[in-house]
Amino acid sequence: MSGHAVSSVLAQFGRFTLFFGRLCAGVPSVLRRPRLLVEQVHMTGALSLVIIMLSGLFVGMVLGLQGYDLLRRFGSTESLGTAAALGLLRELGPVITALLFAGRAGTAITSEIGLMLATDQLAAMDMMAVDPVRRICVPRFVGGVVSMPLLAAIFAVIGIYGAQLVGVELMRIDAGQFWSQMRGAVEWRDIVEGVVKSLAFGVACSAIAVYEGYHAVPTAEGVGRATTRTVVTSSVAVLAIDYMLTAVLL
Amino acid sequence: MKRNPSIEIGTGLFVLLGFAALFFMATQISSHGLEFGRHEYHLTAAFDNVGGLKAGAPVSIGGVTVGRVESIDYDSTAFKAVAHLSIDRRYNRIPNDSDVAIYTAGLLGGNYVGFTPGGSDTNYKDGDRIEMTQSAIVLENLISKFLFDKAGQGAKKETP
């Protein structure tokens, strides 16, 4: 029984890896048809803007409050800008954006592809000699990879404004200290770390969402389960990759 | 192939916003920027040691922020660090015998430049160079001085 479980996990991994290879092989084909890509960037990126901006604002404001309370104990509330910017750029921006992305865009991708599978649309494409992986899966995958760093950047910038709103407007920290200490402490490396992370999360979340949709059991229940699995697997993958990348990049 | 302008506009807006955010991170959050308005005048102050003073730090008189440190460079003929200060026009009455010093805000806070007004009738004007300055207090020097004093006292007590 346990041997069977191990082999099914291994098979799962193998299927995912092979599918990921097919996705990567299809990337050049989607670059020749940019319209498909634009549609997907719109679906995954532009439509996620509102949730990303709102979450960024509130995360930044909470960081401002918590950071202010913590730093006040050391008498260095001027460092709030540094704390908020480093936290948002390196950690919170990429990670929370990826988690929201998995919930907002990943589920949409999985259920869309799953439903296409359940209604035999993908089989029909196959009949017409259109490769469904290239026509359906790859544009969604690349769209997610393109959208994620941009979303994370927007999240971080709005978050820093949120922290500024609380720190400067509410708690009366000097705005010059807030910005100048931030500028003094934030280096190029920190920004690069955030972008690298969000790219990696974009690859992971999009590939998982597309994979789960494409391999869903083609029933109503199966698509529902696949959608749930997308969120669970993406979240765990994001947090695990985050630890590894932090350890490497720090 | 169908064209849908609203999708294109939405995507364009999103991509533009994303790159604007990246650009903002690269220019505003990590390095210099920040304009204090154009109603300002410039002074330079030569220090023996600026410690941790950085460009963008506030300039204050009696705790009120009146300007910013624009840049800091090294004058290799006078062997001094020169801070370029830009000060708001509203505060143009700073006596020209005022003392300038570098202070630290809070325990872990950044450094700032503070003026202590003097009693002269003439004021600093745009482009003046201030030589009457007090350097940043470097904590290591202070500690070593303190330790050497203590050691000296200990040695004196033991000899008689």
Range of the domain at A98: 38-249
Distance (Å, whole) CA A58 – CA A159:
7
- Helix, strand, coil shares of chain B, percent, nearest 5, are 30, 30, 40
**Cα separation values, A185 from A53, A72, A196, Å:** 25, 19, 20
Residue-wise pLDDT tens for chain B (160 aa)?
456 778 888 888 888 899 888 888 877 776 544 444 457 888 888 888 888 888 778 888 888 888 888 888 898 888 888 999 888 888 888 888 888 888 887 666 678 888 888 888 888 888 888 888 887 777 777 788 888 888 888 776 665 5
User: Nearest to residue A113, comparing CAs of A211, A191, A43?
Assistant: A211
State the number of CA atoms in the 13 A half-sphere of A156 facing the CB.
Answer: 40
CB contact under 8 A, A150 and B14: yes
In-domain check, residue A15: no
B39, with CB counted inside 10 A (0-12, 13-18, 19+), is exposed
Question: Which residues in chain B have their CB less than 8 angstroms from residue A177's CB?
Answer: 57-58, 105, 109-110, 112
Mutation site for B-interface testing, chosen from A150, A171, A191 by largest number of B Cβ within 10 Å? A150
Segment holding B74, helix H or strand E: strand B64-75
pLDDT at B32: 43
Residue A204 near residue A238 (C-beta atoms within 8 A): yes
Q: How many domains does chain A have?
A: 1
Domains of chain B, residue spans: 1-31, 40-143
pLDDT at A32: 86
pLDDT at A144: 93
In-domain check, residue A22: no
Does ipTM come in above 0.90? no
pLDDT at B108: 61
pLDDT at B124: 85
In-domain check, residue A84: yes
Residue A150 near residue B19 (C-beta atoms within 8 A): yes
Please tell me whether the overall predicted TM-score, pTM, comes out greater than 0.80 for this model.
no
Distance (Å, whole) CA B23 – CA B17:
10
Residue B72 touches partner A, C-beta closer than 8 Å: no
Residue A181 touches partner B, C-beta closer than 8 Å: yes
Question: Which residues in chain B have their CB less than 8 angstroms from residue A147's CB?
Answer: 14
Residue A67 near residue A159 (C-beta atoms within 8 A): no
Residue A75 touches partner B, C-beta closer than 8 Å: yes
pLDDT at A69: 92
pLDDT at B109: 65
Tens-place pLDDT, residues A120-179: 998 999 899 888 888 889 999 999 999 999 999 999 999 999 999 999 999 888 888 888
CB contact under 8 A, B15 and A79: no
In-domain check, residue A9: no
Q: Which residue, chain included where needed, has tokens 């948002």?
A: A88
Low-confidence ranges of chain A (pLDDT < 70): 1
**Could you count the other beta carbons within 10 Å of the beta carbon of residue A129?**
6
In-domain check, residue A87: yes
Residue A186 near residue A89 (C-beta atoms within 8 A): yes
Residue of chain B whose Cα is closest to the Cα of A71: B108
pLDDT at A155: 95
CB contact under 8 A, B106 and A187: no
**Could you count the other beta carbons within 10 Å of the beta carbon of residue A24?**
14
State the number of CA atoms in the 13 A half-sphere of B142 facing the CB.
Answer: 6
Distance (Å, whole) CA A218 – CA A208:
17
